């Protein structure tokens, strides 16, 4: 439903008053679309980025095996495998253990994670 607004135009000698019809709702919707950021990533996208990031960092670290990384971090190998498959979400404490075992900082991990989160996932299905 259109709303009405009053327009006042002031010149040196006279004032002009006019009435115009404005569709406030569509105007606000357009304004909101411009100012809105991208929607937050889904839970599945975050897990996928985390698993891709862990795997990439593990391979970048002289292609260390899951077993060796788990031993260096002081966690179970099965848990490490489940993390890379996206079955579990690590706690911050667990991430600190993994990051220190990979000999990188949390900032480096976060940068790599962000890179994996923002890139489109490639389909590895080869037929």
pLDDT tens-place values along the chain, 127 residues long: 444 444 445 555 555 554 444 455 555 556 666 556 778 888 899 999 999 999 999 999 888 999 999 999 999 999 999 999 999 989 999 999 999 999 999 999 999 999 999 887 665 544 4
Note whether 109 and 65 are same-domain residues.
yes
CA distance 113 to 48: 10
Give the DSSP H/E element, type plus range, for residue 92: helix 92-101
Of 45, 62, 55, residue with least CA distance to 98? 55
What is the dihedral sign for C-alpha 119, 55, 70, 103? Answer: negative
- Note down the domain range covering 13: 3-35
Is residue 125, in this structure, part of any structural domain at all?
Answer: no
CATH of residue 110's domain is 1.10.260.40
Residues in the chain: 127
Using a cut of 0.75, tell me whether the model's pTM lies above it: no
Number of domains in the chain: 2
Write the burial class of residue 53 (CB in 10 Å: 0-12 exposed, 13-18 middle, 19+ buried): buried
């Amino acid at each position: 439903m259109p709303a009405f607004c009053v327009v006042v135009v002031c010149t040196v000698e006279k004032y002009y008053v006019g009435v115009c019809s404005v569709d406030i709702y569509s105007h606000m919707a357009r304004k909101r679309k411009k100012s809105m950021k991208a929607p937050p990533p889904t839970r599945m996208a975050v897990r996928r980025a985390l698993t891709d990031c862990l795997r990439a960092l593990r391979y970048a670290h002289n292609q260390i095996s899951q077993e060796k990384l788990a031993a260096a971090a002081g966690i179970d190998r099965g848990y490490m495998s489940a993390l890379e498959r996206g079955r579990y979400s690590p706690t911050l404490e667990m991430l600190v253990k993994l990051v220190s075992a990979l000999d990188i900082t949390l900032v480096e991990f976060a940068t790599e994670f962000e890179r994996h989160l923002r890139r489109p996932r490639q389909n590895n299905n080869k037929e």
